[in-house]
Amino acid sequence: MTPEAQYAKLRQSGHDRRVASRLWSFMRPHRRLITTGLLLLLVTSACRLIAPFLVKIAIDDHIEPGNLDGFPRLMMLFVAVSAAELLLRKLQMYTVDKAGQNALFDLRVALFSHMQKLSMRFFDRNKTGVLVGRVTTDIEALQELFSSGVVTILGDAVFLVSTLVILFWQNWQLTLVSLVIVPFLLLTTSLIRKRVRSAYEAMRSRISQMNGFLHENVTGMALIQIFRREELARSEFQPINDAVEESQLGAMKLETILSAAVELLGSLTTALILWYGGGVVLETLGADASELGVGSGLTIGALFLFVDYMGKFFRPLSDLSQKYTVLQNALTAGDRVFRLMDETDLVPEPSGDAVLPPTRGEIEFRDVTFRYDDGEAALSNMSWRLERGQSLAIVGDTGAGKTTVLKLLTRLYHLEEGGILLDGLDIREYPSRELRRRVGVVLQDVFLFNGTILENIRLGHPEITNERAAEIADRLHLGELFNRFPLGYNQLVTERGKNLSSGEKQLISFARVLATEPEILVMDEATSNVDTHTEALLQEAMRALMEDRTSIIIAHRLSTIQNVDRILVLRKGELAEEGTHEELMAQGGIYRRLFDLQGLTAV
Amino acid sequence: MRVLRHLGPYLKRYRWTYILGAIAIVLHVFLKVLIPHFLGVTIDELSESEQKDPDAVRSAIAWSAFSIVAAAVLGATIRTWSRLLVLGGSRRVVHDLRRDVFDRLLKLPPSFYVRNRTGEVMSRVVNDVRNVQGLMGPVYMYLAETAVMYAICVSMIASISPYLLLLGVAPFPLFIVAARRMAGKIQQGSKDAQEELAQLSSKVDESLSGHMVIQTLTLEEYDFERFRERAEEYRRKNLYVSQARASLAPLMLGLSAVSTIVILWVGGPMVVRGEISLGSFLALTFYLAMMAAPTGVLGFVISSLQRGAVSLGRLRELTETEVTLTEPDSPIAIEGRLGELRVEGLTVTYGSPELGVLGADEADPAEGEEFVDPGSRVVLDNLSFALKPGDTLAVVGQTGSGKTTLMRILARELEVERGQVSFGGVDVCDLGLFDLRGRIGYVPQETFLFSKTLADNVALGNPGASREEIQLAIESARLGKDLDQLPNGVDTLLGERGVNLSGGQRQRTALARVMLLDPDLMLLDDTLSAVDSHTAEEILDELEPMMAGRSTVIATHRLSTIRHANHILVLEGGKLVEEGTHTSLLKANGTYARLWRRQSEGDSA
């Protein structure tokens, strides 16, 4: 091993210890359960050892010499020990599992809560699917520690050591002979298990590939048929199906060989014990009992004990490599989870010393410059001011920085250069909750929770009554749309609002913002296609929202913004033009060109 | 269990595999049972050694040990062989089964996929096939092994002492019933927990992808509570499984403990009285342990068996779903170009019969939550019109007026239920389906992109197209300027694992697909709704020469795109309310004129 590799290994082991100790910090609150579980484990392991020993006594002291005095008492003891093991084992398994479930519940909740606080920058860098995996798959891998019995490995160790002690005490030579096979067992299982694992990984990836193919083809089946690709699809599927079969056969072959090898090695040990131990028993029977010391000589009962114990000895040993794999997976998963918990990409909260001004509704951008992580300036040196009750539209091509204005104003990103003032105070001085209460936002992406339409309007604001929510909905003419549902506003919204059209969802998000009565409205206009009637309702609702309120509209279609007080035209993050619709049209610049391009004058 | 008969053809193909597998199982179990037998022989030699010559005893013991080694080696070999045969056989059966199911899916008409959600169909192909694999592999093997093990052990014990057999086996039925119940609980519980995990996962997904909305609306606490509830529920379901599992394990230990106690207590004195030998007495305890071991998993095996049988039935349901849109028995060949399209009395009703809905008789709890339109709904009501070759027809109407349904029927995606659709006087049902589809170019409103390159996606209906032809189609669909944004141009991988195109780009891809086809009839279903008006104009210009010489049907609610139509149909709620040319309809001052006024106002006000 090279020094570097050794160092890496050392560091790795320290690393694993760190993960384990942080995991322990989540288990600590449940240490009572854990201690109870471990104590029970010791007791059940002891019972597991005692039962065969009682059989040995029965053979040597009663059955073989033909002396039945005290035999029933021994049998009663046997019943008691077995019953205790059964009852306590149930309790022990449940206790350990419960401790694990509780600890991982805490971890999961803590992780989610931490992620909620992370800034948009973090979410720009990380794919949602991967993050979801942290909360689910990775924590499930930690769960495996408990359900696969890695946690109870301590019990296994105690069991193995006690077994050896008893066997050595019975006959140390035979014990050594019995252990001859053990290295082969460890070697075989660890060698084949590694290959079994990679074979299973290959199999899983092939299966998921196949499922992906099937999913895609089922989804696009109409296209396959109208474009007459059935034959092609069939021939594409064949190699995929074959590959799955082949990988399954491969994994199964290895698994079969492994289990056969373990069984074979077990039987060989039995043969070895009988052959060598039989000889010892024979000598012992012929010899005078007084000549034999502790650890030598062997009775028939003890021979039976060896066979029985070694059978029980093999199982935890052959599982060892599997448990090691589970442990490694869990530590890797734990590392990922804790690294996410350590993520510090938060939007800083103010110290809370600033006195918040009364709400007026004025916004000012002062020399605002902002870059995303890719380095390019999204906004550069932007300054403008909006008075109370005024309306402003921001237009520009995709990528001109329109949405960035919204994201900075609501502090989804932390601003470092320049300043944004709300009612005369820098927004960095506002606690983010207060800021976002003052600035109401309508986004393109409407987020609906499972619940009724009214609940989706009230969302997170218990102070808004259902009556008030319904009143607001009526004001935006939502009734016209939702009276098609038998329950009206009490209709349940299904998974992300599948039963609603995009226009209806937009209207709900309008109602949501209207219900919280923010002093400033920021709206990212939706580009989705809605029919003419809904479009009219949306326009109407927009007017209601903007009434007596400072408003900013991020506009994608120019037809909706011709009545605003002022229009900003952005180009590559800079303020290129500014003025009213008429002024900008007369100016004949970018705005004019955009307007003509949208074909608004053509029809 | 009668559904098992459906496996007939597959079993027949692999019958030797399964027969040989069964023989191997019998041999392996027999060899395995020999090991305690030789153990008993050794013990007997030892306990009776005082009356014998020590060397004879010694060689007898060596012989027994050697026999165990021989039985173990032979047993392990045969065991491997039996598993390879049976488990391997199950993989092969399932491979064939999957192929046949996929073949079936390719034949089922699009209307089947409208009625059955993708998830439902996928669950058949993935879960049900897997359950059948369990049935044909592990279940077969465990059941065979257990049966053989029982048979051999029972006869071995009976040869030692029928009395002890009766006592030792007595607790078995009780434990099998109990284990069966526990296994059922564990499996149901695990399934519930798994479903809860999926819910939890989609909750996290929702929260993270809605991060921006949640932060701006300060919904963190609200959302956190929702997550917590789910996580709590997941913990609760897991604990239920833990409890069931913790009850099953001691139950199985209990079986061997009870047997051992009975045998010891009763058998011990029998040895003392000389009724049985010590060796066979000890061998007997091993036989009972060998019988107890597979009994523990019997509960699981039985439920896997039942699940496999149910899955087999569900797959059967899939393969027995009537294929309503098939090639006619003796199709009339189409000569030359497609003739005049005539639609007469076309009526379509949705949601009436449960025909072809998978698992319609099963209670689906998820279904109840969803808003389902009660009763049937007429989507197209007695529609009739004609379209001469080379002409352009526009179909105008609000969302839900039946435009898309009409287009899908014309594209031969949906069956003609009532009324008639004909080309050149021949009913479409008599024309070759495959032939006809090759002559119709359908651009749906929303298209699906396969995980292939853009070029392959465009060449969907014409896999033999040259690069130049593909490039040309891409240019004509005004997709050329978007190529710069794609990392590898036309060779960029699209779809789930690749680049996601915008709505407008998808529509233009769908258009390019059809442009490559050179169809006789073009169907454009609101094709340019997500394309901005400027590009839409450009595409329409490009389409104009293509539309000349072939028939076109355009469905739209954007009236500015139908300036070239020879004839316009106005649909409302599935009914034809007006028809005529643009000018005549404006003059009539009806629905069309109203729509027209509203749209031109909305755009230029």
Q: What is the number of structural domains in chain A?
A: 3
Do B66 and B141 have their domain in common? yes
- Alpha-carbon distance of A100 to A143, in angstroms, equals 7
Is residue B236 in some structural domain? Answer: yes
Strands A439-442 and B551-556: unpaired
Do B135 and B96 have their domain in common? yes
Is residue A311 in some structural domain? Answer: no
What is the overall mean pLDDT for chain B?
Answer: 85
Do B16 and B33 have their domain in common? yes
- Which residue in the set A78, A221, A252 is minimally distant from B110, CB to CB? A221
Do A165 and A256 have their domain in common? no
Do B480 and B568 have their domain in common? no
Is residue B153 in some structural domain? Answer: yes
Asked which of B275, B302, B318 is the last residue of a domain, the reply is B275
Q: Residue A26 is encoded by which pair of tokens? A: 């989540």
- The percent of residues in chain B predicted with pLDDT above 70, rounded, is 92
Is residue B57 a contact partner of residue B45, using CB atoms and an 8 Å limit? yes
Is residue B1 in some structural domain? Answer: yes
**Domain boundaries, position A422:** 363-597
* Most B-contacting residue of A33, A64, A120, A135 (CB-CB within 10 A), to test interface: A135
Between chains, do A68 and B72 touch, taking CB under 8 Å as contact?
Answer: no
Is residue B195 in some structural domain? Answer: yes
Neighbour count for residue A273 (Cβ, 10 Å) = 25
Do A384 and A413 have their domain in common? yes
- Which residue in the set A75, A226, A445 is minimally distant from B265, CB to CB? A75
Do A107 and A144 have their domain in common? yes
Q: Any CB–CB contact under 8 A between B76 and chain A?
A: yes
Do B430 and B378 have their domain in common? yes
Do A398 and A432 have their domain in common? yes
CA distance B75 to chain A (A): 8
Do B70 and B91 have their domain in common? yes
The CATH number covering residue B569 comes to 3.40.50.300
Is residue A5 in some structural domain? Answer: no
CB contacts under 8 A, A 190-229 vs B, are 211-212, 214-229
Residue among B149, B232, B205 at smallest CA distance from A447: B205
Is the pLDDT at B6 greater than 90, yes or no? no
pLDDT in tens, B237-263: 999 999 988 888 888 778 888 888 888
At B361 the pLDDT is 42
Tell me the one-letter amino acid at B487: P
pLDDT in tens, B201-229: 888 988 888 888 888 888 888 889 989 99
Do A165 and A186 have their domain in common? no
Do B402 and B430 have their domain in common? yes
pLDDT in tens, B99-155: 999 999 998 988 888 778 788 888 888 888 988 988 889 999 999 999 999 999 999
Do B365 and B424 have their domain in common? yes
At A265 the pLDDT is 93
Q: What is the number of structural domains in chain B?
A: 4
ipTM score for this prediction? 0.84
Is residue A88 in some structural domain? Answer: yes
At A38 the pLDDT is 87
pLDDT in tens, A522-577: 988 776 666 667 777 888 888 888 888 899 998 877 777 778 899 999 888 888 89
The CATH number covering residue A583 comes to 3.40.50.300
Do A398 and A513 have their domain in common? yes
CB neighbour class for B230 (10 Å; exposed up to 12, middle 13-18, buried from 19): buried
C-alpha torsion sign, points B63, B69, B72, B78? negative
Between chains, do A245 and B95 touch, taking CB under 8 Å as contact?
Answer: yes
Cβ within 8 Å of residue A334, ≥6 positions away: A19, A20, A22, A23, A138, A141, A142
Q: Any CB–CB contact under 8 A between B268 and chain A?
A: yes
- Alpha-carbon distance of A336 to B445, in angstroms, equals 43
Do B95 and B48 have their domain in common? yes
Do B146 and B229 have their domain in common? no
Asked which of B275, B295, B317 is the last residue of a domain, the reply is B275
pLDDT in tens, B479-528: 888 787 788 888 888 876 667 777 778 888 888 998 888 889 999 988 77
Do A195 and A245 have their domain in common? yes
Asked which of B275, B299, B326 is the last residue of a domain, the reply is B275
Is residue B308 in some structural domain? Answer: no
Between chains, do A267 and B69 touch, taking CB under 8 Å as contact?
Answer: yes
Q: Any CB–CB contact under 8 A between A444 and chain B?
A: no
- Alpha-carbon distance of A49 to A170, in angstroms, equals 14
CA distance B271 to chain A (A): 7
Strands A377-386 and A363-371: antiparallel
At A378 the pLDDT is 83
Is residue B79 in some structural domain? Answer: yes
Is residue A45 a contact partner of residue A159, using CB atoms and an 8 Å limit? yes
Is residue A355 in some structural domain? Answer: no
Between chains, do B231 and A512 touch, taking CB under 8 Å as contact?
Answer: no
Q: What residues in A contact B83, CB-CB < 8 Å? A: 252, 256, 260
Is residue A3 in some structural domain? Answer: no
Between chains, do B235 and A101 touch, taking CB under 8 Å as contact?
Answer: yes
Cβ within 8 Å of residue A513, ≥6 positions away: A440, A441, A442, A521, A545
Is residue B68 in some structural domain? Answer: yes
Do B55 and B197 have their domain in common? no
Q: What residues in B contact A59, CB-CB < 8 Å? A: 278, 282
Is residue B295 in some structural domain? Answer: no
Low-confidence ranges of chain A (pLDDT < 50): 1, 600-603
Q: How many CB pairs under 8 A join A and B?
A: 375
Do B495 and B529 have their domain in common? no
Do A234 and A275 have their domain in common? yes
CA distance A396 to chain B (A): 15
A422 phi-psi bin (left φ>0, alpha ψ -120 to 50, beta other): beta
- The percent of residues in chain B predicted with pLDDT above 90, rounded, is 30
Do A236 and A380 have their domain in common? no
Is residue B422 a contact partner of residue B385, using CB atoms and an 8 Å limit? no
Residue among A603, A555, A599, A543 at smallest CA distance from A581: A555
Do A96 and A200 have their domain in common? no
At B49 the pLDDT is 81
Is residue A512 in some structural domain? Answer: yes
Do A145 and A114 have their domain in common? yes
**Domain boundaries, position B167:** 162-275
User: In Å, how far are A503, B394, B565, B566 from B387, measured between CA atoms?
Assistant: 35, 10, 11, 9
